[in-house]
Amino acid sequence: MANQQMDVHPVSIEALTEENLRLKAQLKRQQEMYENSHLELIKYMVESERQSKELKRLNRMVSRAFLNTIEIIQAMIDLREPGYYDHSMRVADVARSIARKQGLKEIDVQQIYIAARIHEIGKMSIPDSILHKPFAQLSDKERQLRENHYVIGAKLLERISSFRKIARIIRALSEHYDGSGCPDGLKGEEIPIGARIIALVNVWDSLFFIEQVYQKPLDALAAIENELDGKYDRQFFPFLKAEILMRYSEKDRPTEKQIPIPELKPGMVLSRDLMTMTNVLLVPAGNQLDQRTIEKIQKYQSVDPVQGGVFVTRESIGG
C-alpha cells in the first residue's frame, strides 16, 4: 500500500505574531472591562452604603420625632386627667409583654404598645364640666359623650397616616368579645387583637389603681374573670394573670386617691400640694379640708383651675 501524505499548510511567523497580538489586545480589553466594572461595583457599593446610612439617620430622626409626639400626647392627657400618664404606661408595658408572648411581629407589638400609651386621647376633647362630673349625675347625652371617647380619639388620630393602625385599635376598645359592644358591634376575632389585649389590661389597672374598687390585685382579676367570653377575650386572661402576679402585690395598693372637686368632703387630707394653673399654691399637702377650704377650691376652679387634680390620702376617706 502506498503511503498517503497529508497536506500541511505552513503558517508564517508573521501570521503567528499577528494572532498573538490580536489575542493580547482582546485580553487587555477584557481586563479593562473587568477593572472598569469592578470599579463601578465598588462605587455602587460605597454609594449604597452612604444612602443606607443616610436613610437610617433619617429613620432615627423620624422615630425620635414620633416618640416625642407620643410623650406630648401623654403629657396633655395627664393635664386633663391627672394620674393617667402612669396608668397608660402600666397598661402599655403589660399589653406589650402579652402581645410578644402571642408571637406577633415586632411592628404589631409596638403599635399595640403605642395605642395603649395614648388610648385616653379622646378625653382631651371632652369639656371639664362633663369629664369631672360624677357618672351618676350625667345626662344621657353627656354619658354618651364620655363613653364614646375612644371613638373620638380614633377620629383625631386617623387623620395622620402613621397613626391609622393605632387609631383602629383605639376605636375598638369599647367592643365586646360577644358582639354586644360599640361602636361597630364587632365580635370575637373581628376585634383587632391589640384592642382585645389592651381592653383586658386596662380594666384591671382601672379597678386596682384608678378607681381602687379592690384592695388586692387578685380580687380585681377575679372580677374580670366573671366577664370573660362576654366583654373580654378569655385566651389572654392567663397571660394577664401571670403578668400581674409577677409585677404587683398588695404592697402596691395606692396610698392616695384622686377625688373630683364636686365630691370633696370635710375631713379629707390632701396627699399633694394643690396648685392652680398659674402656679398659685392653693392648699399645701397634709392639710385637712374643711367646708371653707372646699368652697375656696370651688371658687378658684372657675377663674384659675386646679392643676393636676385633687389627691387625698386613702386613710382620710376610710380606704
For the segment 294-300, the average pLDDT, to the nearest whole number, is: 89
- Structural domains of the chain ordered from first start: 54-254 (1.10.3210.10), 258-317 (3.90.105.10)
Asked whether residue 172 carries a pLDDT value surpassing 80, the answer given is yes
Paired with 287 in beta bridges are none
Q: Supply the pLDDT for residue 12.
A: 65
CA–CA separation, 73 vs 79, rounded Å? 10
Please state which of the ranges 41-50, 125-134, 289-298 shows the lowest mean pLDDT.
41-50
The residue-averaged pLDDT of 134-139 equals 80
> Which has the higher per-residue pLDDT, 119 or 78?
119
The pLDDT, as a whole number, for residue 1 is 45
pLDDT tens column, 192-219: 999 999 999 999 999 999 888 898 999 9
More confident residue, 35 or 225: 225
pLDDT tens track for 243-262? 999 998 877 778 888 888 88
Query: What mean pLDDT, rounded, does the chain reach?
Result: 85
**Cell numbers for 281:** 399654691
The percent of residues in the chain predicted with pLDDT above 70, rounded, is: 82
pLDDT tens digits, 52-103:
676 676 667 667 888 888 988 888 888 777 778 899 999 999 999 999 999 9
Kindly write down the DSSP assignment for every residue of the chain, as one continuous string: -PPPPPP--PPPHHHHHHHHHHHHHHHHHHHHHHHHHHHHHHHHHHHHHHHHHHHHHHHHHHHHHHHHHHHHHHHHHHHHSTTHHHHHHHHHHHHHHHHHTTT--HHHHHHHHHHHHTTTGGGGGS-HHHHTS-GGG--HHHHHHHHTHHHHHHHHHTTSGGGHHHHHHHHGGG--TTS--SSS---GGGS-HHHHHHHHHHHHHIIIIIS---SSHHHHHHHHHTTBTTTB-GGGHHHHHHHHHHH--GGGS-SEEE--GGG--TT-BBSS-EEETT--EEE-TTPBP-HHHHHHHHHHHTTSPEES--EEESGGGT-
Confidence class for position 6, pLDDT limits 50, 70, 90: very low
- Does the structure show a pLDDT above 60 at 150? yes
